[in-house]
Amino acid sequence: MSTPEKRAREEKRNIKARNKEQRRLERRNAPSRGEPQIVSAADINGFVPAIEDVMQTLQGGGPVVQRSAPAIPAKLFVGSLNDRTTSASLRNHFEPHGAIAEAVVITDRNTGASRNFGFVTVMDRKNAPAMISALHHSELDGNSIVVNVATERR
């Protein structure tokens, strides 16, 4: 019951399968396209200092390693401020302990009076823990201040 159309379709399918197999064998047996290029880690990463150089730098000797990325700031909450504390005095209190981007005492919108807390933005978050431990419960304008990492409002 085979019709000429069916035999033609089967023959066409068989020819297509043979051509596909022939192309696969040609690709497999084709000569390689040249030697693979050998790349070292230094080519990919650039200069990487030896561990001895890094350790010497950390221990205080040798050249200073420059940062590859900018410092990430951290925001500190400062509570229990005196009514007389200003943003300038808050900045002056924190600056000896590290670089400060911003120091702000929060005031009431209507009266302009201090709300007795503020925020200090530290230039590098790596300095924040040392700054917190040094200034938490320190005295500023007659009050013992509270210094913590600022959290988002809920």
Phi-psi region of 10 (alpha: psi -120 to 50; beta: other; left: phi over 0): alpha
The verdict on residue 98 lying in a domain is yes
Q: What is the CATH number of the domain that holds 113?
A: 3.30.70.330
Is 138 contained in some domain?
yes
Q: What is the pLDDT of residues 4-42, one digit of tens each?
A: 899 999 999 999 999 999 999 988 887 776 666 777 766
Residue range(s) defining the domain that contains residue 111: 74-149
Within a domain: 112: yes
Judged by DSSP in three states, 46 sits in: coil
Q: Are 120 and 94 in contact (CB under 8 A)?
A: yes
**pLDDT tens digits for 39-70?**
776 677 777 777 777 777 777 765 555 666 78
Residue 58 in any domain: the answer is: no
Q: In total, how many domains does the chain have?
A: 1
In a domain, 127, yes or no: yes
The model's pTM is 0.56
